Structure 1
Amino acid sequence: MAKKKSAVKKKANPLDLPLPDDRFINRELGWLEFNERVLDQAADASLPLLERAKFLAITGSNFDEFVMVRIGGLKLQFERNAMLHDAAGLTVSQQINAVSSRCKEMVDRQYQLLRDVLEPQLADADVCRVNLDSANDRVREVADRRFQTDVSAVLSPQALSHDRPFPLLQGLGVHLCVRLRAEPTETGKQFDDEDLEQSSASDETQSKGDGEAWQYAVIPLGRTVPRLIPVPADRGLRYVLLEDLVMHNVEEYFPGREVMECVPFRITRNADIELQEDGAADLVDGMEEILESRRLSRVVRLEYGATASDFTVAFLSEMMQLTNQDLYPIDGPLDLSYLFTLHGLEGFDSLREQPWLPQANPHIDPAETMFATIAKGDLMLVHPYERFDPIVRLIEEAAVDPDVLAIKQVLYRTSKRSPIVAALMRAAERGKYVSAIVELKARFDEARNIEWAREMEQAGVQVIYGIRGLKTHAKVCIIVRREPQGIVRYMHFGTGNYNEATAKIYSDVSLLTCNDTLGADATTFFNAVTGASQPQQLQVLSAAPMTLRKRLLGLIEAETKRCLEGQKAEIVAKVNSLVDTQVIDALYRASQAGVRIRLNVRGVCCLRPGVKGLSESIEVISIVDRFLEHARIIYFRHGGDDELFISSADWMPRNLDRRVELFVPVQDQTCRDKLLSTLRTYFKDNTNCWRMLSTGMYERTTPGKIGKETFQAQRVLHSRAVEAIRKAKQSRRTTFETHEPKHEK
């Protein structure tokens, strides 16, 4: 009897399989894990002290924005629909509770690190914060004199009472709350322990058996007086903080009154306020209203000195309508931004890293124009290892070049004294056609962008305030030049802002090109934005919110299908955030098919790597080092015909659906080799690299077995830039260059 052939088991197509419900990580908790990684840098004993102080300041700044925007947003969601679930399945209330608990844990760790580790070690290194109560007479005398000459005339107290509105205090500013014993002759409403429904009372109140009346006042410290105030030191730096100096002399503001308590506090207001564009007749006026709304918005966090009495905490809580969840007692100085000032002090180089200076690109000759350089071939710059100057120089040259006809540029964030904006205005004043899309809705840069927009308009620049309902986040500049062979478009595409200051500390990439196809696409894209029209079909560029999502998902699916067909398949990407559920699900299905996926996600990652049957072939790392990782670089193996892109967009719904973004292919082979090498370098890091676990937690990579050399990706990238320019200089020294006579045309 013949044997029956066994049926061949066909491999299930992951595109048809259901995915588990618990496959996403909560976005807010994911962000807090990122800030924990920054905090770990502050705790890294191998780093110089002032570098650790700087990282601690960064964690504080990060927290401020997180509370303003993300916690502020959750509170607004709670008011609208408390039972709304996120992709991870958490209700708004559950998210608020989880985030609040995690934040307080991290704040405790911040201040434990400052109080018990960094401040003592800095003091040993002769950078010491002085306690005036225990300082010697000479220090107190100098500090008191400084108070009299520079402080007391500037600051003013304001009395508080129930029969007048609580004063409008500046968000994120440090203030002092002063509790005074009420005078028997005072009229009006005072505050007592019964008013504030305190379950505990002072010893004096307990002995009397009745309520004790207090009066309160507030002293805003403002921003005009420096926060760090030097005092006499035999060596190094000794300083007091402004709030400590004022607290030490607070009685001088209330002559004849008994000051019972003086408490520093700081409020954070909700900044998750967006413009309702349908109701805004004028965008500039609307954005100015948004700025005013933020100034008046609800308080979502109260930080205060940990020694504050229950009376004062209850008073402030009642005045601002806060719950215990919003209260943050701080055992240390409020607002860690003063540590940035410490980091920038002169004379303490041994406490800082040796600077890595940006290098010139060896293919850019300062003796020839940027137009001549780009005409020779595309250029890929990796910042801040390579200078941002060529981009600034390109626009400055365009402003005065008689053959340049037009400049078109998107400006999302710029510097305070932007040379690029100045060049655009200079170009317009010289009669060139200059168009600038200025995104007024760039959060926390709205005021600066409004100011720049008005100045540019006065100079003759055609200013477009973005698109209704969308933020214009693309990084592109197009320069149209008349040349003997016809019109040539020179372009810059980038992953970072046109900000020469942040370009020194953000890791980004720039593509400089005069490629005809890219030029045609860039012009079509720009004109569609400025003309508020439906863009025509682009040849090689993809733009959000029209085609970028579809293109990205299509590339991932194509890699998945190739793998199912038995071909090698690989995806390597570097982004700042991975939140979009469609993209995550596409990556899960690619992993189920066997595609090797390596992701470098600096911040929030809602994907769970390494889950059996779901994401076994996905690796997620995060680099937290000297420079802020900001570049978006995406690679697909594409059957051996590699596809390589740079982009302004992260993999988030806001970038793919609610912003105008660009996804730019890199076609020049030299640029592709450099970019892909840069991308792969990060995955070799064993010094400042964190690997994400399926739980959402991270573990730091180490060199491993004894004897293995350390590999620090950012250091390697800087070394490559240094070596490239060294070789170029060496080559020029060994090449004979003749001086040619100048012939008149």
Structure 2
Amino acid sequence: MAKKRKAKSKKDTLLDQPLPDDRFINREISWLEFNQRVLEQAADESLPLLERAKFLAITSSNMDEFVMVRVGGLRMQYQRNAQQRDPAGLTIAEQLNAVLGKAQMIVSQQYRLVRDTLEPALDQEGISRIDLNSCSDRCTVAAETRFRTDISAVLSPQQISVGHPFPLLQGLGVQLCVRLKADEDTELGGKPAEEGDLPWQFAIVPLGRVLDRMVPMPSDGGYRYVLLEDLVTHFVSEFFPNREVLECIPLRVTRNADIELREDSAADLLGGMEEVLESRRYSGAVRLEYGAHASDEMVAFLSESLGLTNQHLFAIDGPLDLTYLFSLHGLDGFEALKDEAWPPQPSPQIDASEKMFTTIAAGDVILVHPYERYDPVVRLIEEAAIDPDVLAIKQVLYRTSKKSPIVAALKRAADRGKYVTTIVELKARFDEARNIEWAREMEHAGVQVIYGIRGLKTHAKVCIVVRREPQGIVRYVHFGTGNYNEATANLYGDISLLTCDDILGADATTFFNAVTGASQPLQMQQLIAAPIGLRKRLLDLIAAERQRCLQGQKGQITAKLNALVDTELIDALYRASQAGVKIRLNIRGVCCLRPGVEGLSENIEVISIVDRFLEHARIVLFHHGGAEELLISSADWMPRNLDRRIELLVPIVEEKCRRKLIAVLNRYFDDTHSAWQMLPNGKYELVQAEGEPLRSQWELYQWLAEKMDAAQQSRRTTFQTHEPRRSDDETDR
């Protein structure tokens, strides 16, 4: 007798169906949604005024990079294949229209906030941007003196001659465009006037970057200033004696920065990168910002000269380039208008009186930046540089600070005869010039410098210190989610792991030597690297959670990332959700996955934390049948990280470290102060608190500060003896 076929459940039916075509969100629109969330911080009246000014500066800086790279890239794609579609189904033209329309809306919101709220409020607090057309005689005299003594001697106008190429305007630099009444007899370029010539001519006054943008003005209290472009505009006629100035407007050109090195044609990587930097200066314009009071004649002239259509023109009703607000935030004497300081705390595991080698040998250390100091990472490298038992230091440098103590330590180590090898990624966008400079300095100091890998960016964060000890060679390793930059470590939320675990040390050495030797790495026991196996490992872990759910077991995934773009991983998450896996995602920026869609992703929750620190750590946790798999990584879930970069996925195995990191990861999902919930349509709404709002960043700071206080209290109540120092011979015995 034939068996009755079991009726398919709703879950089984879903698993059999193809995934819907509209399951992805456009990457560029998602990024603009992120910048919108940052702008909401600037509009938040609960924040101190100068913090709001800082967030406005951040949105301006973010938009500059977005236009340079993403809009620039879209324009290049449009020229190659206008009909190409993204995973969300949009053509290049549709993406450009949507992106530039959304960007225009955000810019309008920025300047409404500046004009209507921020500047009036700052003025009441004694920080004033003055108008030279309506200021006191005292300010007028001071401005004129400054112009005549300092400014006019530096600046030079540049005529725009008929029949000559339009001058090359510095990308992102503020310039002035002047429209002059034409001479009756000759044009500005010396060409005889002809019938039909326009009754005006143009000139450019480049302001450069030598002079300060903010020019202080006399004040009996507080801080009064005028912007350089406003001051020069007020006296611009002095550059053109006996000429009538019809108008003078500020402008700013953004150039395409999505220019990559063709490594297959670059015999010398360093020289090739210098050519890339030079080519960015001459690349095509992708945006023109100009004063909103410009005449139609001025706008037509500029747009035609730069080859831009209306959608690339941004009329600005306010100061161009709001990044000058960073300088306002840095003013002394206005601490009441800034956030209360949260100084980074020492780690309770780290005793400042002990060598880092002693501390790490006692057990793995997890540091949560910026709540905990970055000093231990710097100390490890500085101590290694002078320790007579250290034989070698191996490190990847993707980005670092202007006056990097880490680079100084590496040079010092090489000078002392240690074997120092550094991979300096010359292709780190917008840090290429600094990295070229560091690479040359370290080479001169005797460091073996590797200029990255052909066709890939080396983005992994790892440093290996090889030390000779009585029991043999010991490898002390730092793995991180952020760059070796002690300055940004005070602003970015990142994770550091310090360990001398034998397996991780051996794996790190295998990885590093494979990269420097440009060879296929041997199988590693615990580390996973991209582009070789990281994508597959993540897919396998997601599939394992899905399979457990299908077998009636618990499946859960929690991840904290900066971006989720990769379509293969997103589809794997959708399939896992359909099987019943509970998925919690904390994605700071771009997220192309649609959460909460019935039958597709109702088991997926996506939040984004936007607060005083930039969330930058990548942490993933898989339930793994109860034997939780916890990992940190340098990689976001994007095709570029998984396929075109050298990245690391690092397991956290020590129990205390695991408990600490899982507590950090979970805390974000309790946030009801700075968390934004992503909706199925790609929009976000601020999570509302039912009671007292919980601010995850503040909670983490308080928690880690309390742990340090408890550790210090314990040390104060514990008697510690001074042991006699033993010689090395006695120790060996």
TM-score (norm 1): 0.95
Query: What does residue 8 of structure 2 align with?
Result: 9
**Mapped contact 2:187–2:201 kept (Cα < 8 A):** no
Aligned counterparts, 1:569-718, within 5 A: 569-704=555-690, 708-718=691-701
**Mapped contact 1:190–1:215 kept (Cα < 8 A):** no
Structure 2 Cα separation of the partners of residues 640 and 15 of structure 1:
25
For residues 68-109 of structure 1, the C-alpha deviation after alignment (integer angstroms, 9 at most, x for no partner) is 000000000000000000000000000000111111011000
Structure 2 Cα separation of the partners of residues 7 and 515 of structure 1:
51
Is it true that 1:391 corresponds to 2:377 in the alignment?
yes
Q: SS state of the match for residue 322, structure 2?
A: coil
**Mapped contact 1:577–1:605 kept (Cα < 8 A):** yes
- Give the aligned residue type for 1:342: L
| Farther off after superposition, 591-600 or 181-190 | 181-190
Aligned counterparts, 1:95-110, within 5 A: 95-110=95-110
Q: SS state of the match for residue 664, structure 1?
A: strand
Pairing partner for 2:276 from 277, 290, 296: 290
Measure how far apart 1:739 and its partner are. 3.6
Measure how far apart 1:469 and its partner are. 0.4
For residues 337-394 of structure 1, the C-alpha deviation after alignment (integer angstroms, 9 at most, x for no partner) is 1100000100001100111100100110111100000000000000000000100000
Pairing partner for 2:492 from 506, 515, 539: 506
Query: What does residue 719 of structure 2 align with?
Result: 736
**Mapped contact 1:374–1:514 kept (Cα < 8 A):** yes
Kindly tell me the number of residue pairs found equivalent between the two proteins.
726
- Give the aligned residue type for 2:444: Q
Pairing partner for 1:335 from 306, 316, 321: 321
**Mapped contact 1:182–1:190 kept (Cα < 8 A):** no
Pairing partner for 1:364 from 350, 353, 366: 350
- Give the aligned residue type for 2:703: R
Q: SS state of the match for residue 128, structure 1?
A: strand
- Give the aligned residue type for 1:737: Q
**Mapped contact 2:188–2:201 kept (Cα < 8 A):** no
**Mapped contact 1:54–1:339 kept (Cα < 8 A):** yes
| Farther off after superposition, 301-310 or 218-227 | 218-227
Is it true that 1:310 corresponds to 2:296 in the alignment?
yes
For residues 145-179 of structure 1, the C-alpha deviation after alignment (integer angstroms, 9 at most, x for no partner) is 11112211111111112322222211000000011
- Give the aligned residue type for 1:395: I
Aligned counterparts, 1:241-252, within 5 A: 241-252=227-238
- Give the aligned residue type for 1:128: S
Pairing partner for 1:428 from 414, 420, 423: 414
- Give the aligned residue type for 2:39: L
**Mapped contact 2:35–2:59 kept (Cα < 8 A):** yes
Query: What does residue 150 of structure 2 align with?
Result: 150
For residues 515-537 of structure 1, the C-alpha deviation after alignment (integer angstroms, 9 at most, x for no partner) is 11111111111111000011111
What percent of counterpart residues are identical?
68
Query: What does residue 703 of structure 2 align with?
Result: 720
Measure how far apart 1:185 and its partner are. 2.1
Query: What does residue 61 of structure 1 align with?
Result: 61
Query: What does residue 184 of structure 2 align with?
Result: 184
- Give the aligned residue type for 1:142: A
TM-score (norm 2): 0.97
For residues 457-489 of structure 1, the C-alpha deviation after alignment (integer angstroms, 9 at most, x for no partner) is 111111111110000000000111110001100
- Give the aligned residue type for 1:547: G
Q: SS state of the match for residue 149, structure 2?
A: helix
Is it true that 1:18 corresponds to 2:13 in the alignment?
no
Query: What does residue 280 of structure 1 align with?
Result: 266
For residues 576-629 of structure 1, the C-alpha deviation after alignment (integer angstroms, 9 at most, x for no partner) is 000000000000000000000000000000000000000001000000000000
Q: Against the structure 1 CA distance between its residues 690 and 191, is the aligned structure 2 distance closer, same or farther, given a 3 Å change threshold?
A: farther
Q: SS state of the match for residue 337, structure 1?
A: helix
Query: What does residue 206 of structure 1 align with?
Result: none
Is it true that 1:271 corresponds to 2:257 in the alignment?
yes
Aligned counterparts, 1:474-493, within 5 A: 474-493=460-479
Query: What does residue 407 of structure 1 align with?
Result: 393
For residues 30-55 of structure 1, the C-alpha deviation after alignment (integer angstroms, 9 at most, x for no partner) is 00000000000000000000000000
| Runs of 5+ unmatched residues, structure 1 | 196-209
**Mapped contact 1:128–1:238 kept (Cα < 8 A):** yes
Q: Against the structure 1 CA distance between its residues 190 and 309, is the aligned structure 2 distance closer, same or farther, given a 3 Å change threshold?
A: farther
| Runs of 5+ unmatched residues, structure 2 | none
Q: SS state of the match for residue 661, structure 2?
A: helix
Structure 2 Cα separation of the partners of residues 329 and 157 of structure 1:
23
Measure how far apart 1:720 and its partner are. 1.5
| Farther off after superposition, 307-316 or 228-237 | 228-237
Q: SS state of the match for residue 631, structure 2?
A: strand
For residues 659-704 of structure 1, the C-alpha deviation after alignment (integer angstroms, 9 at most, x for no partner) is 0000000000000001110000000110010000000000001212
Query: What does residue 82 of structure 2 align with?
Result: 82
Structure 2 Cα separation of the partners of residues 45 and 701 of structure 1:
17
**Mapped contact 2:181–2:245 kept (Cα < 8 A):** yes
For residues 246-281 of structure 1, the C-alpha deviation after alignment (integer angstroms, 9 at most, x for no partner) is 001111111111111000000000000001100001
Q: Against the structure 1 CA distance between its residues 158 and 27, is the aligned structure 2 distance closer, same or farther, given a 3 Å change threshold?
A: same
Structure 1 Cα separation of the partners of residues 712 and 562 of structure 2:
35
Q: Against the structure 1 CA distance between its residues 717 and 84, is the aligned structure 2 distance closer, same or farther, given a 3 Å change threshold?
A: same
For residues 541-561 of structure 1, the C-alpha deviation after alignment (integer angstroms, 9 at most, x for no partner) is 110000000000000000000
Aligned counterparts, 1:512-531, within 5 A: 512-531=498-517
Query: What does residue 160 of structure 2 align with?
Result: 160
Measure how far apart 1:189 and its partner are. 6.7
Q: Against the structure 1 CA distance between its residues 349 and 454, is the aligned structure 2 distance closer, same or farther, given a 3 Å change threshold?
A: same
